[in-house]
Amino acid sequence: MLQKGLLIIVSGPSGAGKGTICKELISRDDSIIVSVSATTRKPRTGEVDGISYHFLTKDRFEALIGENGFLEHACVYDNYYGTPKDFVIEHITAGRNVLLEIDIQGALQVKKKYPEGVFIFVLPPSMKTLKSRIEGRGSETPESLNKRLSSAYSEIELIKNYDYFIVNDTVCHATDLLQAIITAEKCRVDADIEDIVRKFKEEN
Q: Which residues bind ligand 5GP (CB under 6 A)?
A: 14, 18, 37, 41, 72, 74, 76, 81-83, 101-103, 105-106
Nearest Cα to 122, choosing from 88, 145, 99? Answer: 99
Nearest approach in angstroms of CB 152 to ligand 5GP is 10
Closer to ligand 5GP by Cβ: residue 24 or 72:
72
Closer to ligand 5GP by Cβ: residue 150 or 183:
150
Closer to ligand 5GP by Cβ: residue 5 or 82:
82
Closer to ligand 5GP by Cβ: residue 18 or 111:
18
Nearest approach in angstroms of CB 93 to ligand 5GP is 20
Nearest approach in angstroms of CB 127 to ligand 5GP is 16
Contact yes or no for 149/127 (Cβ under 8 A): yes
Nearest approach in angstroms of CB 122 to ligand 5GP is 10
Give the whole-angstrom CA distance, residue 7 versus residue 173.
Answer: 22
Closer to ligand 5GP by Cβ: residue 3 or 41:
41
Nearest approach in angstroms of CB 189 to ligand 5GP is 31
